[in-house]
Amino acid sequence: MIDETLTSPDALVAFAEGLAKIASSGGGAKALATHLAGALNAAVLVEDGEWRHVALAGSGTRSMPPSIRDLVAGALPNPDGFVRLELPGEPHDALALRIRGGDAPLGWLSIFSNGGGLASRQGAIRLAAAAIAVELSRDAGGGKNRRKSFWDRLLSRSYDDPIEAKDDASSRGIALATGYVAVALEAEGLEEPSAAAKFGDLRRIALETLRAGSGEIVVLERGGGFVFLCPAPLEVDAQNVRTAATLIPRAATKAHFGLKVVGGVGRSATAIEAYKTVDEARESMFIARRLFGGSRVMPYDDLGIYPLLLRGGATSEELRAFGQRVLAPLRAYDEKHQTELVRTLRLYFDVGQNVKTAAAELSVHRHTVFYRLRQIAEISGYDLDSAHDQLTLRTAMAIDALNPR
């Protein structure tokens, strides 16, 4: 059902205020499109002047094209600037409006109604187009668009050579950091009317929290959320990004009643391999939602075996690397201090986590076993009382046993 009141002046004013609020909180084209889609009960597509996808919002049962490029080719707009889109087999309205910044064409806004009646809501569509125009012209006006396309290219692995990537970056005014850590975030359970505003809030809160680090953070809209690519030249920067990211849900709860956040953090990667950290961040977010109940941001490093299970078909190389990564801190400690932490852990699992039996097998007092288990937890970073962490350690042990070093 279309909101009948959207045709009244008061409803239009309220709609316009909604747009302004989104724009002022940094919501971007996607959030503006979501606002329009919610008001019209329609799907909304935004494309830029070069037919690149900018945003898709709303939903419906009808089919819609990935781009309206072919549909508007040669079509003549009616006097008020709208183009009626003819879609075979679709009974409902579809309209497109050119987005303009002054006289310059900046892109297209197209609306695919689920119930018709778009003609009487052209005012709302014009207002949304004007607001989106501001966003697109802002992007196109400075170097932002050029910068954004660099990151799109980088993450789609279009550069074979790090030097080529670096040269292209510097020609666009981007100084690449030696390392990056990605943070993927989505707001959970958003109700349509406030979704756009909360989307903007999430972006703002995340940037404020992550800004503790150094350098410019690249913000990418992905799916229904964001990926923040944070410069992390040193290990400590990666650590701090991870810590800051895990603080975001609390900051969001404090700042915005009801804004729940789920997310993931990738490992540190070089610029040319930034796609890896982005993929890891998004996988971690997925795992955080599916296995840990959401409302938290989880670092890839803390997820143990789950990312490998998620990917499916991990190579034996990846499995071996995983086993070594999990056990490496314990091995290093054993080597340096002549201790038996790895052996103790293996035995502890072998005897069904019975400390008394483990102590007898190791010929030590059971307090020694408790002490070692505490050391193992601290050094490995895995909690032996957590079923998730146990799974990781047990799997690492099994992989290690099957693949002798």
List contacts with another protein (CB under 8 A).
209, 211-213, 234-236, 239-240, 243-244, 247, 250-251, 329, 333, 336, 378-379
Nearest Cα residue to 162 out of 149, 179, 144, 146: 179
Tokens of 17: 């205020």
Cα–Cα distance, 294 to 189 (Å, whole number) = 11
For the beta carbon of residue 274, count every other beta carbon within 10 angstroms. 25
Cβ 209 to another protein, closest distance in Å? 7
Q: Which is nearer to another protein, 122 or 243 (CB)?
A: 243
Which C-beta is closer to another protein: that of 16 or that of 217? 217
Q: How far is the CB of 297 from another protein (least distance, A)?
A: 12
> Minimum CB separation from another protein for residue 396, in Å?
18
CA-CA distance, 182 to 200, in Å (whole number)? 19
In the complex, minimum distance from the CB of residue 227 to another protein, in angstroms, rounded to a whole number: 21
| Bridge partners, 43 (sequence order) | 112
Q: Which is nearer to another protein, 42 or 376 (CB)?
A: 376
Q: Which residues make Cβ contacts (< 8 Å) with residue 393, sequence separation at least 6?
A: 304, 326, 345, 349, 380, 382, 384
CB 393 within 8 A of CB 380: yes
Q: Min. distance of Cβ 225 from another protein in angstroms?
A: 22
E strands present in 165-288: 180-188, 218-222, 225-231, 260-265
Look-up: residue for tokens 């070692």? 372
For another protein, which is the closer residue by CB, 247 or 398? 247
Least distance (Å) from another protein to the CB of residue 183?
A: 14
Cβ atoms of 230 and 151 closer than 8 Å? no
**In angstroms, what is the minimal distance from the CB of 300 to another protein?**
15
Q: Residue 13 or residue 247: which is nearer to another protein going by CB?
A: 247
Quick count: other Cβ atoms within 10 Å of Cβ 25?
18
Our CB check for another protein shows the closer of 105 and 233 to be 233
Determine the Cα–Cα distance for residues 299 and 218; give it in Å rounded to an integer. Answer: 19
Minimum CB distance to another protein smaller for 239 or for 357: 239
